[in-house]
Structure 1
Amino acid sequence: MTAELKKRIAILERMLDNVGACIFSKDLDGRYTYVNQAVLNVFDLNEEDVLGKDDSHFFNLAKSQEVIENDRAVMQTGKVLEKEETNFVKSFNKEKTYRIVKKPIYDEDANIIGLFGIANDISEQRELESKVHEQNQLLDIVLDNVAAHIYMKDDAREFMYVNAKVASLFGLPVSQIIGAKEQDILPEEMAAHFHQSDSELFASGKKQTIEETVTDESGNTRHYLSVKVPFEQQGRRSLIGFSTEVTELYELKEQFRKQANTDYLTGLYNRRYFVEVAEREFKRAMRSGEPFALMSLDIDHFKRINDKFGHPAGDEVLKTIAKNLIGNLRDEDVLARIGGEEFAIILPHTNFEQASKVAERIRDYQSSHAIATEQDDVLAKVSIGLVMREHDDDTFDSMFKRVDKALYQAKEQGRNRVVAHVS
């Protein structure tokens, strides 16, 4: 074996040991002939305790028949197998779900002598997927395993190695990337982003796990979880990088965040998030001394609307009023549905005269514009309470209590009116 070949093998082994996926090979009897570090971590064993042994030592086969059936299918048919596989791992004493790819290994005479496989643990993704379905039944995205983008660069920003996944991402053949500098083949902004994170890696000299966001040539934002490992080769500072695209997972988390803050019917902020934002704005107004207005709005006789026209019509009234309110507010104002038929609005940088005009404009609009429903047109009038931040307001909660009193007074005085500045 030549020194160059040994070097390539050493680099490849180092790369494979840093890939998040489990990589392995087996002979026709199902005995392991190669495992990377990820497999050893799963089994919690050393290499000598794994090689030459079959899966009965590592899995509860009574609960893991898939692993045997899948291996047999690959080695008997010669077909490539790509699917999910659930195994009961003894070291974890629990079931783990993997996205696996298994392919046959041939000898020089084209006889199948075993298989090799790549397995990615997707147990947590499946658990998250289950929670999404249970909580809102709106998301049914299945997060498939995404192969890693693998590359090597030196500290002069020159690519030493890229796999096909990287070449596809860059839109160039591998031959054009190897030996090229990233600033010569990548968009300027993307190259600068990579250079900054690479420089931090070389400065620390330690393995890093970072999140990276890049914009491709089509303007799409992509999110990656990247592992970068520094090493030296003949005095040449270099790094190996493994980047897994997590755009779908990132978007899923963003949807979770939005749903946690949003009222399902109207699309407005919910009470919890409204109070969170309002408290932050209240503190800002206290520091700056700027005026700060709070409005509470309730639909008059909403129960009668539901009783007379039905709950679907009531829902339509709520949604339409939400749209009307948005149309009467500025971008900086914060609107939320905080109860069944109750809405709240904070108006930053707004004095009493300005806030009163907004409240009266909303009241007048609702009292003169009927809302079309499937049953009939409904004239849904509103009562409004309005208060301003005062010097003795130590917390937003004190304003919230006062605006509730103002709203209650507006309803007591006959509804379809604005009561403001109640102490």
Structure 2
Amino acid sequence: MPSFPNTFQSATRTHDPLLDRLQTPVWIFDIEQERMHYANAAAVRLWEAKTPQGLYARDFSSTMSEATRRRLADYLPRLAKGEVIDEHWSFYPGGQAISLHCRCSRFVMNDGRTGMLVEGLESDISLDASSLRALEAVRHTPMMVSVFDGQGCLLVRNPAALEARRDLTAFGACFTDHDLAEQILQQLEGEPRCSLEAIMRVNDSERWHHVDLCRATDPKTGQPMIVMGEFDITSRKRLETAQLVSKRQLEVVIEGLEVGLLLEDESRRVIVANQAFCDIFAIEASPETLVGMDCREAAQSSKAHFTEPEGFVTRIEELVGKKRRQARDLLAMADGRFLERAYTPLFVADQYHGHLWVYRDITQERRQEADWARKASTDPLTGLANRRSFDDSARRVARSVKDDGALAALLMIDIDRFKAINDTLGHAEGDKGLRLLADTLRHNLRESDLPCRTGGEEFMVIMPGMSLENAQAVARRLLRQIAEATIEAEALPFHFTVSIGVTGFKPTDASIEAVTRRADAAMYQAKHEGRNRVAVRW
């Protein structure tokens, strides 16, 4: 640990004339609290702070990347042991990159914790912009990158490798198979690079990794070094194993499945199909007779079953050509049914051995989902859109008015003296009135208009592309048609009237509530003026 004058500890929060005369930036960083503890004048300038106090108050945690945190977390125990760390750092104090060679050593904080004393040094190695970018990319990539000397001793690791393998510092210790590690070292003596998939040690577990290794020369010592890059492929390995097991068990379980299965080999010939597959495509032949059939010809002969015949064939060729891990498609059939198709290529020991198609009839599910969606957005009594549907549509129209300058109007309709109708004739007759009003709106508006029952006897109509004047004319026509309609009640026929408020969507409206409040105010104005009339608010 560097030795400073006895006054340095007390000078870390005050100006020290001697340290401020240095042209070299010097600062102390509290790694645990992510705060600057001290900076001399050169460091204050480097960090583009107006005063030291402003730098001490700066929130570094909000701009610090996870890769930087991992790197500093690795520093902390090493500094506590007295290690001096020389590394290249890139800083972004004002948004512009500053690259500096930093010598980092231990500094004991007032409370006894370990801080990091940083000295910015002139580097004897000049890095151009491309090299600096490459260095930053290695530090932030999730790929594990480690560098060893020719004997397999660790030289440096990027943050991803540090986090995954903090206590393993020898090349051979990274591998579960030590003999394999030795073979690789010997191989790299004669070959510049190699790649493999192996089970590697990661902290307290073992994981499948893809490993790329190359022989290089240490730019500092001129001695041989080994660069190793790794990424986790455990999930892929597990999937390959599961596919292998599934293939071996396929013949045992295939006929017990309700989904249609078709297994093809790498030459696009049928290996196996089940009865459910034949049933879905109305194939009269037995599944056994399909074995050996050319699947390209089968796809061409089956395409007429689908609403997009050529798209059906093209998608098959695309999936088979790319050999993706898995894919799912929704297929619409000409007879109104819907199929879900799953595609799975089969790899055994890294060799492609065909693919599996799974067809499932989801027609009933689609109908059920459509019914649920309709019920969620529809008023059950009148069949009109409900409040939820109104809110969604009104927001879309409001965006169009605000962004595109489109016109749109809103009607709020309320049945006059509806409570008296319910109290006098009963709720069943009142429901007839609600349905009559809904039918009048449904049959006398444009297809683009959206009539909604938003609650009780209250209805709203969203009218895209409608001016306020035209909306007022439509409202008067509706008023007349409703007043002239007759409801055949059990006791005696009766009529009812409505009051209609008219307003328009404005680009300046802060919310949908602003539009509905104007329409509501206009409707109540019509009520106060005697009912059975139209009022406008703009």
After TM superposition, list the pairs within 5 Å mapping 1:150-299 onto structure 2. 150-153=261-264, 158-172=269-283, 173=285, 174=287, 175=289, 178-180=292-294, 181-188=297-304, 189=306, 192-202=310-320, 205-216=323-334, 219-224=335-340, 226=342, 228-231=344-347, 238-299=354-415
Larger Rg: 2
Give matches, 1:7-86, under 5 Å: 14-15=246-247
1:158 CA displacement: 4.8
CA distance in 2, matches of 1:292, 1:11: 57
Query: How far has the Cα of 1:149 moved from its partner?
Result: 0.5
Deviation for aligned residue 1:17: 5.4
CA distance in 1, matches of 2:502, 2:456: 19
Provide the residue aligned with 1:419 in structure 2: 535
| Partner secondary structure for residue 462 of structure 2 | strand
Are the equivalent residues in 2 in contact too, given 1:227–1:243 (CA < 8 A)?
no
Taking a change above 3 Å as real, the CA distance of residues 155 and 262 of structure 1, as seen in their structure-2 partners, is: farther
- Contact 1:206/1:230, CA 8 A, preserved across alignment: no
Please list, as runs of the form range in 1=range in 2, the aligned pairs for 1:361-400 lying within 5 A after superposition: 361-400=477-516
Change (3 A) 1:308 1:177: farther
Counterpart among 443, 457, 462 of residue 327 in structure 1: 443
1:267-323 C-alpha deviation (Å, 9 max, x unpaired) = 111112211111111101222212110010000011111111111111111111101
Q: Is the 8 A contact 2:413 2:499 kept in 1?
A: yes
Sort the Cα spacing of 1:282 and 1:154 in 2 relative to 1 into closer, same or farther, 3 A. farther
- C-alpha distance in 1, partners of 2:243/2:513? 61
How many equivalent residue pairs?
290
Distance 1:321 1:418 in 2: 16
Unmatched runs of 5 consecutive residues or more in structure 1: 1-9, 25-35, 37-116, 119-145
Q: CA RMSD in A?
A: 3.1
Q: Deviations over 1:352-392 (max 9, x none)?
A: 22211110110001111212233321211110000012343
Alignment identity in percent?
Answer: 27
Rounded Cα–Cα distance in structure 2 between residues aligned with 1:192 and 1:231: 28
Q: Secondary structure in 1 aligned to 2:402?
A: helix
Q: Tell me by how many angstroms 1:328 deviates.
A: 1.0
1:302 paired residue number: 418
Structure 2: distance between partners of 1:236 and 1:300? 74
Q: Secondary structure at the match of 1:166?
A: helix
Q: Is the 8 A contact 1:150 1:242 kept in 2?
A: yes
TM-score if structure 1 supplies the norm length? 0.62
How far apart, in 2, do the equivalents of 1:151 and 1:362 lie?
59
**Amino acid across the alignment from 2:523:** L
Cα distance in 2 between the residues matched to 1:404 and 1:171: 58
Higher relative contact order (CA 8 A, sep 6+): 1
CA distance in 2 between counterparts of 1:370 and 1:346 reads 26
Q: Report the counterpart of residue 154 of structure 2 in structure 1.
A: none
- SS of residue in 2 equivalent to 1:210: strand
* 2: CA distance, partners of 1:233 / 1:192: 35
Using a 3 Å threshold, how does the CA distance of structure 1 residues 192 and 233 change in structure 2: closer, same or farther?
farther
* Offset of residue 326 of structure 1: 0.6
The verdict on how the C-alpha distance between 1:300 and 1:184 changes in structure 2, with shifts beyond 3 A counting, is same
* CA distance in structure 2 between the aligned counterparts of 1:406 and 1:319, rounded to whole angstroms: 24
- Write the distance in 2 (CA, Å) between the matches of 1:170 and 1:233: 33
Distance 1:224 1:410 in 2: 54
| 315 and 12 in structure 1: CA distance in 2 versus 1, 3 angstrom threshold | same
**Residue ranges of structure 2 left out of the alignment (5+ in a row):** 1-241
User: Normalising to structure 2: TM-score of the pair?
Assistant: 0.49
